[in-house]
Amino acid sequence: MLRLDQLHPIVSGNKWYKLRYYIEEALDSGCNTIASFGGPYSNHLVALAFTAQENKLKSIGYVRANPNEPITPSLQEALAYGMQLEFIGRTHFQETKNELLLKIKNNPSSDTYFIDEGGYGALGAKGAATILSAQDTSSFDTILCAVGTGTMLAGIINGAAPHQEIIGIPILKNENTLAEEINSLVIHKQKSWTLLHQFHQGGYAKINPALIQFMNELWTLEKIPTDIVYTGKLLFAVNELIQTHYFKPGSKVLIIHSGGLQGNRSLPKESLLF
């Protein structure tokens, strides 16, 4: 397992990689504010708020929530790092997001730099491609990671050796456009990659007792923290794939722990052992 969750206590896991080139471009462009989008338990917004503060940039988070909803611990943390929060509701979140992104695209002189939700985009994938170069991973036959926007998976595909098969575990239900969105960020179209859609367990942030039990057992046995949105489902999937002999005998399999435990804050207290 590649423990990206151990890289940084706040800019957890793949967020450090996905944000690096966006921050660099924002600074090079002379922008003084960086903005993005996310839900009320967004790992991305917390990481962005901290990173912006470290680089002396203002930050704005457009949140998929209504103004009258309670402020979650994740959003409180983003506020503590200086992020300005704008609540744009749930019903028309995607439409509002696309309008803002189009508006900024048509106004290149703006001093606000926008990043798509979850760091999706070519620069996010470029950063994610450097994950595998942090250490020698060339001996592995198969690499697995969780898939949200698909940015990290696209980067892993771009950064993988020709002989490596890349498998993504989507955490969204019935995401029909996901493969197309990933492919638009893939540089070498001939590379081998697969999405296994059967492990979403109901969809984004949907949980069940079996998942919580698995996460707790994993913590008890290995002291590896996982989250209910991404890595819990990833490890649950890998465990099932091993049980059903999905991997060829003798295969060397690398699991990427993408970090980010903010989603666990939505659970009742004491649901998890960590």
Domain boundary among 70, 90, 119: 119
Residue 190 within a domain: yes
Tell me what pLDDT residue 180 has.
95
Quote the mean pLDDT of the chain: 95
Per-residue pLDDT for 105 more than 90? no
For residue 238, give both structure tokens: 């890998």
Residue 69 within a domain: yes
CATH of the domain at 26: 3.40.50.1100
Per-residue pLDDT for 76 more than 80? yes
Per-residue pLDDT for 176 more than 80? yes
Domain boundary among 79, 98, 119: 119
pLDDT band at 175 (very low <50, low <70, confident <90, very high): confident
Mean pLDDT over 52-75 rounds to 97
Give the DSSP letter string of the chain: -EEGGGS-SSS-THHHHHHHHHHHHHHHTT-SEEEEEE-TT-HHHHHHHHHHHHTT-EEEEEESS-TTSPPPHHHHHHHHTTEEEEE--STTHHHHHHHHHHHHHT-TT-SEEE--GGG-SHHHHHHHTTTGGGS--TT-SEEEEEESSSHHHHHHHHHS-TT-EEEEEE-STT-TTHHHHHHTT-S-TTS-EEE-GGGSTTSTT---HHHHHHHHHHHHHH-----TTTHHHHHHHHHHHHHTT-SPTT--EEEEE----GGGGGSPTTSS--
Give the structural domain span for 151.
127-266
Q: Report d(CA 215, CA 228) in Å as an integer.
A: 8
Residue 242 within a domain: yes
Q: Are 90 and 185 members of one domain?
A: no
Q: Are 138 and 94 members of one domain?
A: no
Domain boundary among 98, 119, 140: 119
pLDDT tens by residue, 187-206 = 989 999 999 999 999 888 78
Q: Are 31 and 102 members of one domain?
A: yes
pLDDT tens by residue, 2-57 = 999 999 999 989 999 999 999 999 999 999 999 999 999 999 999 999 999 999 99
Q: Go through the chain and tell me how many residues it has.
A: 274
Residue 2 within a domain: no
Q: Report d(CA 174, CA 200) in Å as an integer.
A: 9
Q: Are 131 and 208 members of one domain?
A: yes
Q: By C-alpha distance, which of 118, 247, 129, 263 is closest to 204?
A: 263
Q: Are 77 and 103 members of one domain?
A: yes
pTM reported for the whole predicted model: 0.94
Q: How many CB atoms lie within 10 A of CB 100?
A: 18
Q: Are 138 and 257 members of one domain?
A: yes
Residue 274 within a domain: no
Q: Are 92 and 199 members of one domain?
A: no
Mean pLDDT over 102-108 rounds to 85
pLDDT tens by residue, 225-237 = 999 999 999 999 9
pLDDT tens by residue, 128-155 = 999 998 889 999 999 999 999 999 999 9
pLDDT band at 106 (very low <50, low <70, confident <90, very high): confident
Q: How many distinct structural domains can be found in the chain?
A: 2
Tell me what pLDDT residue 135 has.
86
Q: Report d(CA 124, CA 253) in Å as an integer.
A: 24
Tell me what pLDDT residue 193 has.
97
Per-residue pLDDT for 59 more than 80? yes
